[in-house]
Structure 1
Amino acid sequence: MITSMNAANAYTAARNAVQPGTPTGPSPVERLGEAAEDFAAQMAQVDAVSTGAMTGKTETHQLVQTIAEAELAMETVVAIRDKVVEAYQEILRMPV
């Protein structure tokens, strides 16, 4: 038999699971900003290594590795952009 006390206790326990609380980590906007900064740093590193390779100060192996890392970062950014555009277009298609 469910009593009012059992129901109140169950509600209290369940409320914490669905109640928005204080975020434990960085917000999505902060994480997006950090990702953009990391991408910019990666592109700056590619520029520096490319310049070093042209002047003979950087080995070819390091240049190839840096370009491969930059290509992966660029593919990730493009995939995220595509998902954002897709979500925006889906919102535009919603009836008002």
Structure 2
Amino acid sequence: MDIRSTLAAQQYAASRQAATPTPQSEQSTNPFSTATTSFADTVQQGEKTAMAALSGNADPHALVQALAQTELAVETAVTVRDKVVEAYQEILRMPV
């Protein structure tokens, strides 16, 4: 066996292992993933409470509270989006 083919096989095995996706557990440590999941959960809970209030199964206080939480979550998401767009535009303005 040639030394070059052995090295190539070793490099292939190392790169194949590095390229395989790692399974993600239920508790992700990625803060962006956690934030988006929390945002989606808040919006879904607000929708469920609104539907329950429309059918008469929830009290108005719970509806107001759910709507306030949803509004805060949406405002936070919009603020983060604006900051990301602003940072991207600033990067585009940088001289090369």
Same fold (TM over 0.5): yes
Give CA-to-partner distance per residue, 1:16-75, whole Å, 9 cap, x none. Answer: xxxxxxxxxx4xxx1011000000000000110010001000001100011011111111
TM-score, length-scaled by structure 2: 0.69
TM-score, length-scaled by structure 1: 0.69
Match for residue 51 of structure 1?
51
1:35 aligns with 2:32: no
Match for residue 92 of structure 1?
92
| Gapped regions of structure 1 (runs ≥ 5) | 1-25
| Gapped regions of structure 2 (runs ≥ 5) | 1-28
1:9-88 correspondence runs (5 A): 26=29, 30-88=30-88
Q: Percent identity?
A: 49
Instruction: Tell me the distance in 1 between the aligned counterparts of 2:63 and 2:87.
Output: 36
C-alpha RMSD over aligned residues: 0.7
